[in-house]
Structure 1
Amino acid sequence: MVMMRVVIFPGLIALGLLFVSCLPLMAERTDETPLVTLEPLTVEEKKSVSAEQNVEQVDVKSERSAIVSRIPDVIDQVPGVDVQGRGVLTPKSSQVRLRGLDERRSLILLDGRPLNGTGVMGGYFVDWSMLAVEDFERVDVGKGAFSARYGNTLGGVINLVPARPSEKPEVLFETGYKRYDTFSSFLSGSARSQNFGARVLAGYASTDGNLRNSEVERANFSGNFYYFFGGDGEIRFGIRYTEGDFNMPVENVEGAPGYDPDYPENAGSYLAGPGIQFPSGDTFGDGSYYEKKRTEMDLSFRKELLGFQSELKVYRNYEERKDVFYSYNTGEKVLVRDCVPDRSWGWVIRLGRYLADHHVTFGADANYQGYEGTNNTFIRANYFTRNPTDGSNELDATRYHGLYVDDTWKVTEWLTLYGGLRYEDYYGNRSVDVVTGYQNGRPAGFETTTAEFDESTLLPKFGVTVTPRRWLTIFGHAGRATRFPDNPAFYWYYGGYRPEVDPSVNIQRKPLTYEDAVQYEVGTRITPLEGVSLGFTWFDYRIDDYIRWIFGYSPSRVVYNVDRVNIHGVEMDGRIRLGGGFSGFFNVTWQDTEKKGDVLDASNALTDKLSEIPEWKFNIGLSYERENGLLAKVTLRWVDDRQVPYLNGGSPDGTPLGTPVTLRSMDSFAVVDLLVRYPLTYGPFQGYISAGVENLLDEEYEEELDFPAPERTFFVGLEVKF
């Protein structure tokens, strides 16, 4: 592995220690400064039933692993959520699905503002491997687009809530180690004075990974700085910086030249785009990696003004990357390129006010996405048949604006109604080289043109909760939701395969348009006894003009709208406090999918379902916790088998017409995890020592086809707070 020269990490630690040394000064307090009782260390999952949107709040501290955990690992036991990781910390373009809809169709938020990137040059709409879970105290999961305040989403919302400064000075250090030479540590400092507060964190993680050439080394820094004023006023400036080296898993197949028996067989992935046409018989090899640097900055304002709860946010994301490729056959460096995959920014305004039994809110938001092209800084002479070309800049390539108004009306003590209306406008404009015609299935010519997309939608939302008894709540939500073409889809619809100018086929694509959905859900939540909670939800999504893309067409791929995709299912869950410190939970999800009018996917003759989505899955867990923090927990996650189109490798997006595609089955799996946490106290120091095992039964399984998951993994961790 070409290891990252982590010049940043000592500086981050030094900055953290400098902040820690200033904590006593920040903590000066007057007699008027209130004392606040801190919450317990572990917090149960909270399921909020609302006429607007049901939200499941997941406490990060209690759900994350002690060593190198990711946000998907924190929410993988939420009903209706599918998680598909790759290795220990290896990036992957799609890892989380809300009721079958991934990050492309879901809105990922950082403290209420969009985190989703452009998705270009590798497809990372959200790179979970660059998000340190220690930055966040809670993850809120809202499935379905039932709230008017969030737009351009079908799957729903995942909101990452940053950890806030503690009332008293607090320093926290955590470190740990587990299999695959995986190590992580972080140091944070937090405090609040009468008007000022801050929390800073510096972290480091590294792993050799379980796959061939899957080493990762990552350093991160974050700071959230607050100014409190006027009783309820708050100004926050937040910055997150992450830098990492991520090796590209190399194909490792028994019997193939160069096979390494020390690693499991896997399909390999060079993680990054644009695609590279390697010479015949060669591909990327050991030592290939990319270095990524990402910065996120936020400025927010919250205050009651003229009777309105007011909120304003301005944010910016910036990401740069260097890709380094080595030849599999010769081990020589063959290509180095620089790129800026994400230059996005935006703003959010929200206002709300209580009027008698009504809570009325309205607001606006905007998101502008762009990127800079690739720059090939090194190309080995006489290696490529056709040298890779540089890419062009597309700043503010797509521009999105939304407006909304909604009202939550508490009609009686037992009846609450919700109504909302959202207006969305999306504009894209960019230069594209389009195919003018085909000869023998290959492009016969190109011309440069300007592609433009300009659409707007109006989205009504409705909801109701009925509580006829204190222990029984019945709810229902309905609404229209739309999702506009993302940057890659917008480009490749025009720049990819165009069947309408190919004389060898008789297929006409629809003009590119947005996905248009009608969504429903109904359910109930029952609390028959103290400490017992049961829930049931039925959902149905009907998505017209679902956008698909398939690699293998010339040039590169085809993007098109299919007539419809239907997704429906049932979720059941329960929690119970058994007494004596014992508690348990379970949830079961059944879901099914169907697509209609797909004319460009060869695998459609084999199945009409979306691939990789299990029909059944369930989670169950039992924990024991004492007041002093002693915790023992065991959980089981079971996922049904899945079908994936296969053509010289997994092709979950489908395959070109006329290809000999088959269906490969991914076996069902059951993974058991065990955690024991023991409290430690020594003078002013408090903490925990944690130990446990992931994949206790050493299950051989895959969350992604041809990428084996880590085997049984023991870990130990230490946490110290003072």
Structure 2
Amino acid sequence: MREKRIHFLRLLRRPLMGKPFILAAGLLILLPMLASVAESDENSDRALPETYKLGEIVVTSDREGEATGIAIDPTATTVVIDTYESAKTPQTVQDILESMAGVDIQRGDSTLSDGKDVVKIRGMGARRILVRIDGRPIRNAGGFWDKLVDWNSLTLENVERVEVVRGGHSAVYGETIGGTINIVTKKGSFRADNRPEVQATADISEYGTRKYSAGVAGNVNALGYAFGGAYRESDGFLKNSAYELKDVNGRISYTFPFDGRLTFGYKGSFQEKEPYVVNDPDNALVGDLYDSDYPIVEGATSGSSINYPGSDSFEERETEYFDLFFEQPSPIGDWKLHFYKSEEFRDVSHYNYSSSYGLFYDYPWDVNFEDWGWIIHDRFTLLDRHDVTIGMEGREYEIGYNAYALGQEWHVPQTKMITHQAAFIEDIWQVTDKLSLALGLRYDRVDMDVDIDFAGYDDYTKDMDAWSPKSRLNYTFRPGTTGYVNVSKAFRIPTGMEFTWMGAPTGLFIDPETAMEYEGGIIQKLARDITARMGYYYYKIDNYIMFNRDPYPLLYSGRIEDAVFNADYLILQGVEAELRFSLFDRLNGYINYTYQNSELGDTRVPEDQLYDDHYQLPRHKATLGVDYSVLENTILLANVRYVDKRKTSLNQEIDAFTTMDLAVEQRFWNQQAHVKVYVTNLFDAEYEEQYLVPATDRVFGVNLGFKF
């Protein structure tokens, strides 16, 4: 086992940000004063709201979606983890997203996210969506600070709910075009008897796959706590795909007599994984190393760094998230101040084949990524009909890496690459009892500065800023029937890889993306526990950033503008329909359907040179999940998933597929313990989520758990 580096909190090591926003600061001071005039004296004694968390735009009722664990509103779909049921017990956030309308899961390694763009919302991957934990953004090093989110680190043992916010219609949630995934953690309880809540699970299935997790949440008077941990290991389905993962997380909060609450949070994931390798009897490069005990994996995949057997390929990753925030209700609003820091270290080695040189080679590299930032919000009521949120936020990123391949070396010292600052205001106005209107405005400013020498370029910089107006309108036609229309502008910050592909100044030749987003639909509450939504969206992304399939010769021949470039536009549109239901107190479930399509504008390079992540977009997608109480404590669970055929950026076709998972769960001791026997891919369908990478076949397993 290789020596690991354990990083510790260095939150105060550097100045948090640069210059303040004078305009936003004025708003933070002036508007709450106006609000205080409108508020009654009794509001000054109010406690911090239980269902609204500052910085989030979703208000989740305790009863909405209680039976199914799924709540639907015009802005988001929310999954409550403790009440969500599925045939296979979800382990990470991506397992939850698999069941949502408009969300595509495309794993190259069917067991785990393998370093590719796994999750897409409305056809947009991690470059154009944003993942947040308790309202704070997370980015990871991925491919030298690019689009990749470490989905393996986002485990569920200390998660209260997962919110999928569609589109870029919130001024509070910026930096996104496709949408936001907000992970809300448990903070502890406030029980008078100080009794903790404890839960533990064990999951064992084929291919030597095991997962053990435990969590405890509670309080000691005013001190709240929530701790969790998990251990996961597997021999892997594909050749050379074993892994061992360790996760720890915790939140400690203290509520002061003046109702202020201080919270410290930590989440760490420590991973060792072997990336799968080519295993093809017809591939001369594999030769005698083909192993018939594993599925065939051909070498001509759409990935750029496929591994071959014959050497030591490995991936080790340490990801840590640190959070410190303070919440305070006051006569001038509910305040939240949040400081955060992320660190990720990856040590990787791939065994690749170079067709140009006609030889195999080891490609070892390591990368260290850090970002830190702050968020300040104030939420207050104005004139009894306006729910106003104002705030500012700032972030900085830095990265350093070392790489070796084919006699070449790359060394980039730890370097700050981006400073991002933003200010925003959002007013949710209850115009009448039936009509509500949310109006928002967000200002983003980005300074990108790369101190790298490349072919005569040294310390190249670029500044960009944008104003993004937002609007959401809801109208209740009659009790239970609500229509909504959203029209907004969105702005996206380029990733580090887009700005400096392998050290080249590619960002100097591209313009930032902006998008106009139009969305409308209707939500129908058919009964107390049956809710349906149908909506249509249309996005036009101007200056859509794309990559060349083979950028390296272009970079070193001086044609940098052809390596990373803007398309005139990308149009994405689709229809989403989702239904959650609970019938006769015995049958609960959800069903959803997604239609989606895209159209790409003109580009500066020919179509056969394009590589982009909006490919592999299924035209049709549908999921169904049900749990039926056969007896009082015996539950039958089933999940069905259909994904239409897709095409890669090389015009290769991936077949459509349908899978079904089935489980029987028996509960004991007043439903505080359970045994679940399950089978995934019941009919042993042969399918691929990514081109030429086989997904897992039929797998049997058992899940044990208790809570009290």
TM-score range, shorter chain: 0.7 to 0.9
The reply to whether residue 536 of structure 1 matches residue 534 of structure 2 is: yes
* Matching of residues 324-335 of structure 1 within 5 Å: 324-325=349-350
Equivalent in the alignment of 1:387: 407
Equivalent in the alignment of 1:113: 136
Equivalent in the alignment of 1:398: 418
The reply to whether residue 715 of structure 1 matches residue 701 of structure 2 is: yes
> Aligned-pair distance for 1:337?
4.7
Equivalent in the alignment of 2:188: 165
> Which ranges in structure 1 are unaligned for 5 or more consecutive residues?
9-35, 377-383, 435-445, 499-508, 647-662
The reply to whether residue 310 of structure 1 matches residue 335 of structure 2 is: yes
> Aligned-pair distance for 1:568?
0.5
Secondary structure in structure 2 of the residue aligned to 1:612? coil
Q: Residue deviations 1:122-168, cap 9 Å, x none?
A: 74531102222223121100110001111111011100111232442
Please give the alpha-carbon distance, in whole angstroms, between the structure 1 residues aligned to 2:393 and 2:534.
33
Give the counterpart letter for 2:323 in structure 1.
D
Please give the alpha-carbon distance, in whole angstroms, between the structure 1 residues aligned to 2:240 and 2:311.
6
Q: How many residues end up aligned between the 2 structures? A: 632
Please give the alpha-carbon distance, in whole angstroms, between the structure 2 residues aligned to 1:451 and 1:349.
31
Match of 2:568 among 563, 580, 586: 563
Please give the alpha-carbon distance, in whole angstroms, between the structure 2 residues aligned to 1:153 and 1:82.
17
Equivalent in the alignment of 1:703: 689
Match of 2:101 among 79, 102, 109: 79
* Matching of residues 53-92 of structure 1 within 5 Å: 54-61=75-82, 62-63=84-85, 69-85=91-107, 86-92=109-115
Match of 1:586 among 560, 577, 591: 591
Secondary structure in structure 2 of the residue aligned to 1:129? helix
Secondary structure in structure 1 of the residue aligned to 2:624? strand
Match of 2:578 among 567, 573, 577: 573
Equivalent in the alignment of 1:671: 659
Equivalent in the alignment of 1:478: 487
Equivalent in the alignment of 2:255: 228
> Aligned-pair distance for 1:573?
1.6
Q: Residue deviations 1:31-71, cap 9 Å, x none?
A: xxxxx9x9999752444435xxx111012342567667221
> Aligned-pair distance for 1:245?
0.6
Equivalent in the alignment of 2:395: 367
Equivalent in the alignment of 1:49: 73
* Matching of residues 205-216 of structure 1 within 5 Å: 205-216=232-243
* Matching of residues 627-706 of structure 1 within 5 Å: 630-646=634-650, 663-681=651-669, 686-706=672-692
* Matching of residues 116-265 of structure 1 within 5 Å: 116-121=139-144, 123=146, 125-166=148-189, 167=191, 168-230=195-257, 232-256=259-283, 257=287, 258-265=289-296
**8 Å contact from structure 2 (residues 550, 609) kept in 1:** no
> Aligned-pair distance for 1:180?
1.3
| Identity fraction in percent | 27
The reply to whether residue 299 of structure 1 matches residue 324 of structure 2 is: yes
Equivalent in the alignment of 1:25: none
Give the TM-score taking structure 2 as reference length: 0.83
**8 Å contact from structure 2 (residues 525, 532) kept in 1:** yes
Please give the alpha-carbon distance, in whole angstroms, between the structure 1 residues aligned to 2:695 and 2:375.
39
- CA 1:620–1:721: 2 relative to 1, 3 Å: closer
* Matching of residues 29-44 of structure 1 within 5 Å: 43-44=67-68
Please give the alpha-carbon distance, in whole angstroms, between the structure 2 residues aligned to 1:235 and 1:626.
45
**8 Å contact from structure 1 (residues 595, 610) kept in 2:** no
Q: Residue deviations 1:347-383, cap 9 Å, x none?
A: 111111001211111001112111122266xxxxxxx
Please give the alpha-carbon distance, in whole angstroms, between the structure 1 residues aligned to 2:178 and 2:161.
19
Secondary structure in structure 2 of the residue aligned to 1:554? helix
- CA 1:577–1:4: 2 relative to 1, 3 Å: farther
Please give the alpha-carbon distance, in whole angstroms, between the structure 1 residues aligned to 2:296 and 2:145.
23
Q: Which has the higher contact order (CA 8 A, sep 6+)?
A: 2
- CA 1:493–1:453: 2 relative to 1, 3 Å: farther
- CA 1:190–1:671: 2 relative to 1, 3 Å: same
Please give the alpha-carbon distance, in whole angstroms, between the structure 1 residues aligned to 2:171 and 2:186.
26
> Aligned-pair distance for 1:714?
0.9
Equivalent in the alignment of 1:513: 511
Please give the alpha-carbon distance, in whole angstroms, between the structure 2 residues aligned to 1:449 and 1:5.
35
Please give the alpha-carbon distance, in whole angstroms, between the structure 1 residues aligned to 2:408 and 2:668.
57
Equivalent in the alignment of 2:462: 453
**8 Å contact from structure 1 (residues 594, 609) kept in 2:** no
Give the counterpart letter for 1:540 in structure 2.
Y
Secondary structure in structure 1 of the residue aligned to 2:294? coil
> Aligned-pair distance for 1:338?
5.8
Which stretch shows the higher mean deviation, 120-129 or 204-213?
Answer: 120-129
> Aligned-pair distance for 1:471?
1.8
- CA 1:610–1:202: 2 relative to 1, 3 Å: closer
> Aligned-pair distance for 1:609?
10
The reply to whether residue 603 of structure 1 matches residue 626 of structure 2 is: no
**8 Å contact from structure 1 (residues 696, 712) kept in 2:** yes
**8 Å contact from structure 2 (residues 549, 609) kept in 1:** no
Please give the alpha-carbon distance, in whole angstroms, between the structure 2 residues aligned to 1:268 and 1:108.
32
Give the counterpart letter for 1:414 in structure 2.
K
**8 Å contact from structure 2 (residues 626, 638) kept in 1:** yes
**8 Å contact from structure 1 (residues 93, 123) kept in 2:** no
C-alpha root-mean-square deviation of aligned residues, in Å? Answer: 3.2
Please give the alpha-carbon distance, in whole angstroms, between the structure 2 residues aligned to 1:620 and 1:267.
32
